[in-house]
């Protein structure tokens, strides 16, 4: 995990389920790492490794831009405000 995700996670996941949510996230992340490694390994075996690395980089860049656009919409602004964090901490 990274600092930005950790901060978002701590501010938006209730403390009583934080361990469960973290475990599920870790499982899903590990699953996708294994599947991605298998797919990229098979593609590298049949295509050139250079093509697979460049294609993977372009796909990751596209996904990053897409996630940035989705997360910076005005409808998501409440997730990144101090008031949202304050409201969650007061409901515990």
The CA distances from residue 5 to 9, 10, 35, 72, 77, in Å, are 6, 9, 22, 15, 16
Q: Which of 68, 91, 79 is nearest to 11 (CA)?
A: 79
d(CA 73, CA 92): 28
At 1-18, the pLDDT tens digits run 577 777 777 877 888 888
pTM recorded for the entire structure: 0.59
At 29-81, the pLDDT tens digits run 899 999 989 998 999 899 989 999 999 899 999 999 998 888 888 777 776 66
Whether the predicted pLDDT of 89 surpasses 70: no
Q: Given this model, what pLDDT does residue 66 score? A: 94
Query: Where residue 83 falls among pLDDT bands split at 50, 70, 90?
Result: low
Q: Are 79 and 12 in contact (CB under 8 A)?
A: yes
């Amino acid at each position: 995990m990274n600092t930005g995700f950790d901060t978002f996670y701590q501010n938006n996941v209730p403390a009583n389920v934080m361990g469960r949510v973290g475990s599920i996230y870790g499982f899903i992340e590990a699953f996708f790492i294994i599947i991605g490694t298998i797919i990229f390994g098979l593609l590298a075996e049949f295509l050139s490794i250079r093509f697979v690395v460049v294609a993977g980089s372009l796909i990751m860049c596209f996904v990053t831009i897409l996630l940035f656009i989705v997360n910076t919409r005005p409808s998501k602004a409440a997730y990144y405000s101090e008031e949202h964090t304050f409201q969650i901490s007061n409901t515990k």
